[in-house]
Amino acid sequence: MTQLPTHTEKKLGLVIDLDTCVGCHACVISCKGWNTENYGAPLSDQDPYGADPSGTFLNRVHSYEVQPAQGDAQLIHFPKSCLHCEDAPCVTVCPTGASYKRVEDGIVLVNESDCIGCGLCAWACPYGAREMDAAEGVMKKCTLCVDRIYNENLPEVDREPSCVRTCPSNARHFGDLGDPNSDVSKLVAERGGMDLMPEQGTKPVNQYLPPRLKDRLAQDEDQIDILAPYLAPVATETKGFLSWLDKTLEKL
Amino acid sequence: MTHIQPTLDLSPKVSDEVRKTTCYMCACRCGINVHMKKDPLGDLKVAYIEGNRDHPVNKGVLCAKGSAGIMQHNAPSRLKSPMKRVGERGEGKFEDISWEEAYSIAESWLRPIRETNPEKLAFFTGRDQSQSFTSLWAQSFGTPNYAAHGGFCSVNMAAAGIYTMGGAFWEFGQPDWDHTKLFMLFGVAEDHDSNPIKMGIGKIKKRGARIIGVNPIRTGYNAVADDWVGITPGTDGLFILSMIHCLMKAGKIDLHYLAQYTDAAVLINGDEKSPEFGLKLRDDNGKELVIDRNTGKPAPFDKKGVKPDLAATMRVAGVTHRPVFHQMADMYLDEQYAPEAVADRCGISAKRIRTLAAELARVAFDEAFELEHEWTDFRGEHHTSMTGRPVSFHAMRGISAHANGFQTCRALHTLQIILGTVEVPGGFRFKPPYPKPATAHPKPHCKVTPNAPLDGPHLGFVHGPDDLALKEDGSPARIDKAFTWENPMSSHGLMHMVISNAYAGDPYKIDTLFMYMANMSWNSSMNTTGVQDMLTDKDESGEYVIPRIIYSDAYSSEMVAYADLILPDTTYLERHDCISLLDRPICEADAVADAIRWPVVEPDRNVKGFQSALCDLGARLGLPAFTNVDGSQKYADYADYIVNHERRPGVGPLAGWRMGENGLQGGRGSPNESQLDNYIENGGFFVEHIPDGANYYKPWNADYQDWAVKMGLYDSPQPYLFSLYSEPMRKFQLAAEGHGERQPPDHLRARIKEKMSPLPIWYETDQQGNEGFTVTALTQRPMAMYHSWGSQNAWLRQLHGCNPMYLPSNLMREHDLSDGDWAEITSPHGAITVPVMEMAALNANTIWTWNAIGKRKGAWALDEKAPEATKGFLLNHLIHELLPPKGDGLRWANSDPITGQAAWFDLKVAIKKVAAPADAQSQPNMPPINSPVGKGPSELKWKVGQ
Amino acid sequence: MHPAPSVIFFSTFSGLGFGLLIFLGLGMPATTGFSAFIFFAIAYLLAVGGLISSTFHLGHPERALKAFSQWRSSWLSREAWCAVAALVLMAIYGAGLVFFGQRWTIIGLLGAIASLGTVFTTSMIYGQLKTIPRWNSPLTPANFLSLCIAGGALMAGQTTAAIILLAIAGAIQVATWLRGDTAFADSGTNMATATGLGNIGTVRAFEPPHTGTNYLLREFVHEIGRKHAQKLRIIAIVLMAVLPIFFLLIPFNHIMALLAVVAHVGGVLTARWLFFAEAEHVVGLYYGKR
């Protein structure tokens, strides 16, 4: 049913730390591996060994260069997948009911057997979270590993999305963003987590933690002033240095 | 209205079986869970790969390469059968043959060599993870010509670390991620310790600790660094020495640490007339002498209760002998290292250098802490706690692949040591089998006897001219000229010189070149085109100048086309392997660990693990290490070797589950026939934790030393002092000054005297021939690709299918370039025409590209129109293994004069905007080679389970 | 957006077909028998042909019936209902005219409303999308409806009405373009909001996630040169409104009428191509393509 539920019991989603993501693409490929073998049709690849390889991916890592008014440019790696929006425009546009938002946890899914492959949901998504699989002709998207997070065939510790499990730098966190006491909610509160494209009114569940302030040792005059006394010379040449050394050793 | 939604199976079956083995998608060697599922025919197939949570290296995480292993394992580029060349070299035309035929061909080439002159075989391995095995084979064959690829990869860093502190960065040590508060990172190769570094960065970020990245390029780890220092390439040593200058001048150094654990207090012979001038003073037992601050008298450094004095000198017979630390003060307090004096060359402002040095000092000393671990040092002194200095450093190829890289690495270790941050809580920690000083490693061996093994291991650590690998006439004993006056401390050999030396017949001709997993006709050589010519050139008689080439690889790499005989290797999921303590460890700072690979699937092709093939071939050739007394084959295959080989009594390739007196035990013990099963049961690895109290201060910690002996890492405790002052280097200087019997050739004397400074120095690398070439060009390895392997992987090649040249904004403007334009990049050696892209977060005089994305048409089972082969390119075409001629009649190597490390980061280029090539293909555009394996399918819809 | 021929043909021809049906439903021209048959045949050919063409871009056309289920929320589903209603009602109404010589006014009126509704729902599929600021405007339905009605008038031979309606449609088309040109900038969605990094400095896309292409780039990131677009706009407006009005102002003649229709169709096809080609999806920001 493509009407959105009025309320979901949980708001499961990801918190992505832009201060920590090193841009390694581990999440991209782990996602590709799990979701090729699991939920729905495999994520296919066209011309995989040819001139124009192109496949379906549910998670991709962008990178942006940001030039501050002063100082060096910064590079930010930017993983992006479905944000499981509260007001998911992709769901309401679906003519067949294939796209839906789960009432128990807020996960946005595509029921592939109902999907006619019209692509309208991808048009409606501002984030590029949905990709039409060229081989299967159905819309694919992040399932938040719905077939992992409750899976009783997996050890409890592994019941999290494969991208989170594999992330080497721990830049991805999974949890209930509807519960203000959850670890992810606390992280969002502490670090000033943000919505992407808030003006689109989608109310994304996934949150992004902004990069911390960079290059303070080059920019921040206070820092520089505090540090300067650390290098007050004890001597300026060898002789003075050796006499300082002798005195200091005496005290050791 | 109620919300209607489908009912899902939330607990689908994940797999039919999980098999735990070790990844081989880079040198990180993570533990992996290979999920097996039955396909519709009922056969178990690899369905999904994830990290093994119990594994000491990756603790469950896995990088993109590892997760894409399924595509690597099933790549259409896999070789299918032994092959012999039927076309010309370089064409790629082959005929499938049987293993029996392959072995008999190899035997017919190798047996006569061994019987007459074993040095005619050059056996070099590339991304080999079994060097302790392949070197044993080479040693048993009797050739001196063996090495792996460390000479163009890591030797500066490894040798500098081991000579200075008995352990190196790379994957041989790690910051104390749990305690460090400031982590300073210099250029890092993204294929060694990659997941542990990422995990560590995540850990310290979580604690709010900070990272300083020193790198001309702000990507990857440098992108997440809190502060980025976009240094001018090749000046890291100068920057580091300037920080040392600042810290020493301010007295912000750990005097206790320097006195107790380093040679700073060791007395240096000050007698200018002595043949031992500049060497360390020693007592009759060979122990270095220090002045004991308690008595004011000289004493051996390790005497119980001795307090080494950093300040005192010793006057004997009118000569003053001063401690190392005096010389350091003389050298580093000099204004030539003042920030103002180095700022321009480093591309870092003097103020910033000072601020960075001050921050190191602040964290090291103001944030020092005590860890409540009792321990006893090697002098017998008991300590109730361990002092932590939470500043840690890490570095890799970025600083080492320069011709001043060895000294730069030494300088960095000196910085670590004066701050007292090595092997202390919060600092840099060794992973077993390190710490292990250079003196505890073998020396190089090169004595060749027909029909007999070499006289010892090929590679090792020289401690003076006597240890060089020279023949009686003084000419190089090794084909790569390792351990000669040109590069005396070349501990890893010089694989990058083998083909050009063999081609030139200098120092001698060889008969057979035998290589494993080394893409020498492409991305693993400097001067790619030149190497292709050398491999295909024929002499007057119409024979190839390098007469025979045997090559083993699992995939249809560019090198396959240039070999005469191909021994097809398996994929990593089809083979046995051991990640051995005898080799490159996977240990953690807190634990000793090793691991295996085992065939989680059987090969479906006529291929064989290369090591198993060597067991067969070794037995056919009658090599002693591979033959029983009765002449029969000693090891049926590599698995048999792994279980039953003993390097020393009780010490074998694997340390886990060895047979002790009271049953199975870790460390020492006799072979256990079910050892591999024990490993498999345990998830493919063995780990044993270092006891608390033994896990820091390891080089000097009596408990650690005893534990290491128990584990078989050493045969006796090996406490030692860190060598701020390198005595072996001083010995080479002495020779250059005319002392001793083994004398360098005259043309090298001045260079040896200058470059082999026993205290770290910085020098500008040789700029001869670089007039007009002013921009540094670098490569980096993408985190999702490993060497050339990634391109055959359908998933990974979508991430990096081609590589632009990245230019800083200022150079884009200067040359009127926009994204997607083309430029011709020239060096004194060659030219390439490539697409460019702008990058602002880049040193203003540096350009760079991703390494090894460019592919030869026809290789790796890719379409000839693949972007890797059309747009992708190699920087290698611009780099030569030799420097441009200087007019002195000699050709000087483009390498570090101390270790021979290939100096490919010294490359200087010029940039010119050009029109896009007519076919929009990067240049040079080489003709295709035949693919011996055909091409891949046009679509993938991968799913094993149904 | 990728200007997919199937969708361009669908929206142009079904718009024209339903436009004609509207007029037929209202009894303009008031024809019966064979003449009515011809008119209805043309209208159905255009409308149904367009609808069939629209299924060409579906991944699973065989599941198209499922598209009727979500009329509560989905404009595409509503479009399906409207189209079926219009075609069924107009079939009954047409049968009355052709076979029984009867004009069932109420059914004709309902059919006309359903036809209008079909074009409106079609336009709302595009107009509802906040992700494509150029489309996300009441001008989108106005544009579709005005063209549909003007085209219908033209097809129905309602010369006077056609002249006025074509002029109105042309004006709305120009307004749609002009508003559309600033829509992206006015939408408030930009690199800074897309990445949330705007407070650090100026954001520029660096490396794309993959060096190759993907569905998103193929579907949403179609780049068209500005100069090229301006030329096509002139061609479109001349063909769609100026020429047909000119032809209609010349004393009536079937050749002129045919030329007017041909020109109009060419103009609408061009405008529809531009409608897609010029539409910029906000996802392009993530790829630095805006």
**Burial (CB count <10 Å: 0-12, 13-18, 19+), residue B928:** middle
A-chain residue closest to C129, CA distance: A124
Tell me what pLDDT residue B874 has. 96
Q: A197 vs chain B: nearest CA distance in angstroms?
A: 23
SS3 B19: strand
A169-191: per-residue pLDDT in tens? 999 999 999 999 999 999 999 99
A-C contacts (CB, under 8 Å): 198
Residues A216 and B356 sit within 8 Å (Cβ to Cβ): no
Asked whether the beta carbons of residue B801 and residue C212 sit closer than 8 angstroms, the reply is yes
Q: How far is CA B749 from CA B33, B111, B725, in A?
A: 56, 41, 21
What pLDDT was estimated at residue A235? 87
Q: Is B220 within 8 Å of chain C by CB?
A: no
Q: Is the ipTM value over 0.90, yes or no?
A: yes
Burial degree of A251 (CB within 10 A; 0-12, 13-18, 19+): exposed
* Tokens found for residue B357: 């040095």
Task: Write down the pLDDT at residue A238.
Answer: 87
Half-sphere exposure of C169 (CA within 13 A, CB side): 32
For chain C, which residues lie within 8 Å of any Cβ of chain B, measuring from their own Cβ? 204, 206, 209-212
CB proximity under 8 Å: B 71-90 to A = 76
Which parts of chain C register pLDDT below 70? none
Q: In the block, which residue shows the tokens 């406490």?
A: B719
Q: Which residue of A has its CA nearest to B202?
A: A169
Q: Which residues of B touch C211 (CB under 8 A)?
A: 798-802, 867
Of A162, A165, A168, the CB nearest to B198: A168
> What is the block-wise mean pLDDT of chain B (946 residues), using blocks of 10 residues?
81 96 94 95 95 97 97 97 97 97 98 98 92 97 95 91 95 94 89 91 96 97 97 97 97 97 98 96 96 96 94 94 96 97 97 97 97 94 96 93 97 98 98 95 97 97 98 96 97 95 96 96 93 96 97 97 98 97 91 97 97 98 97 98 96 96 94 98 97 95 95 91 98 97 96 97 92 95 91 97 97 97 96 97 97 96 97 95 87 93 95 94 95 96 88
User: Could you tell me the CATH superfamily of domain C5-287?
Assistant: Formate dehydrogenase/DMSO reductase domain (1.20.1630.10)
CB contact (8 A) between residue A2 and residue C74: yes
Between chains, do A152 and B11 touch, taking CB under 8 Å as contact? Answer: yes
Which chain C residue shows the shortest CA-CA distance from B799? C210
Rounded Cα distance between B394 and B434, Å, is 16
In degrees, rounded to 5, the angle at the alpha carbon of residue B655 between the alpha carbons of residues B653 and B656 is: 125
Which residues are within 8 A (CB) of B697 and not within 5 positions of it... i.e. 6 or more apart? B261, B375, B377, B386, B423, B424, B704
Residues C209, A67: C-beta atoms closer than 8 Å: no
For C180, the token pair is 């559309």
pLDDT (0 to 100) of residue B500: 95
Span C85-96, pLDDT tens digits: 999 999 999 999
- A48 → chain C, closest CA residue: C212
How many other CB atoms sit within 10 Å of the CB of residue B280?
Answer: 25
Task: Say if residue B435 is preceded by a cis peptide, omega within 30 of 0.
Answer: yes
CB-CB contact of A109 with A15 (8 Å): no
> With a CB-CB cutoff of 8 Å, which residues 835-864 of chain B face chain A?
839-841, 861-863
What are the distances in angstroms from CA B832 to CA B360, B520, B877?
A: 42, 19, 7
B227 and A146 in contact by Cβ < 8 A? no
Mutate one of A6, A7, A21, A22 to test the B interface: name it (highest B CB count within 10 A).
A22
pLDDT at B1: 45
Disruptive mutation site among A31, A54, A116 for chain C (greatest number of C CBs within 10 Å): A116
Output the pLDDT for position B946: 72
Residues of A in contact with B841 (CB under 8 A): 65, 72-75
Give the per-residue pLDDT at A2. Answer: 62
Determine whether the interchain pair B801/C210 forms a contact, defined as Cβ–Cβ distance below 8 Å.
yes
- Cα(B8)–Cα(B926) distance, integer angstroms: 54
Give me the pLDDT at residue C76, please: 94
